[in-house]
């Protein structure tokens, strides 16, 4: 299983040549693709009505991993570490990273700059 960040889904949506996307490359190696409930929220609310069916179909075919109390506790630890080192990242990225760490799932993202700040997070490029 691998957790896909919203950046991977957005690239898939935007590029005409789907075979050149990170999503396509990852899907060739992993059959169980997942997203966090945070990513689900981001892509389902951040689009036009005309794109609703595209995002619904895509997200319906991915496993959605909930952000629960265990994820929240991991997020608290990450937040404290990032605050201490003055390397804060966007809240959504922090919560997505916490979901991946909590469930011990590697993450695939195009936003390496943010996610590499989270200690022990396995990032697939």
Using the predicted structure, report yes or no on whether residue 50 has a pLDDT greater than 90: no
Strand partners, 3: 34, 107
Considering only CA atoms, which of 115, 116, 111, 108 is closest in space to residue 34?
108
Q: What is the pLDDT of residues 81-113, one digit of tens each?
A: 999 999 999 999 999 999 999 999 999 999 999
pLDDT one-digit tens code per residue, 8-42:
999 999 999 999 999 999 999 998 999 999 999 99
**C-beta pairs of 53-56 under 8 Å, 24+ apart in sequence:** 54/13, 55/13
Q: What pLDDT, on a 0 to 100 scale, did the predictor assign at position 38?
A: 97
* pLDDT reading at 45 higher than 90: no
So what's the pLDDT on residue 48? 79
Whether the Cβ atoms of residue 43 and residue 59 lie closer than 8 Å to each other: yes
Q: Tell which CATH classification among 3.30.70.120, 1.10.3210.10, 3.40.50.300, 3.40.50.1010 matches the domain 2-124.
A: 3.40.50.1010
Grouping H, G, I as helix, E, B as strand and the rest as coil, residue 120 is coil
* Percent share of the chain, pLDDT over 90: 89
pLDDT (mean) for 56-72: 96
Q: Which long-range contacts (CB under 8 A, 24 or more apart) does 109-114 make?
A: 109/4, 109/5, 109/7, 109/8, 110/5, 110/7, 110/8, 110/11, 110/22, 111/5, 111/7, 114/89, 114/90
């Amino acid at each position: 299983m691998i957790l896909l960040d919203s950046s991977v889904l957005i690239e898939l949506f935007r590029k005409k040549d789907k075979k050149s996307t990170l999503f396509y490359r990852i899907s060739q190696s992993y059959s169980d693709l997942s997203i966090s409930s945070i990513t689900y929220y981001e892509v389902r609310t951040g689009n036009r009505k005309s794109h609703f069916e595209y995002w619904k179909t895509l997200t319906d075919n991915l496993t959605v991993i909930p952000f629960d109390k265990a994820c929240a506790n991991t997020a608290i630890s990450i937040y404290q570490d990032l605050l201490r080192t003055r390397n804060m990242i966007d809240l959504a990225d922090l919560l997505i990273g916490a979901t991946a760490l909590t469930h011990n799932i590697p993450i695939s993202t195009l936003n390496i700059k943010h996610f590499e700040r989270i200690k022990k997070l396995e990032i697939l490029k």
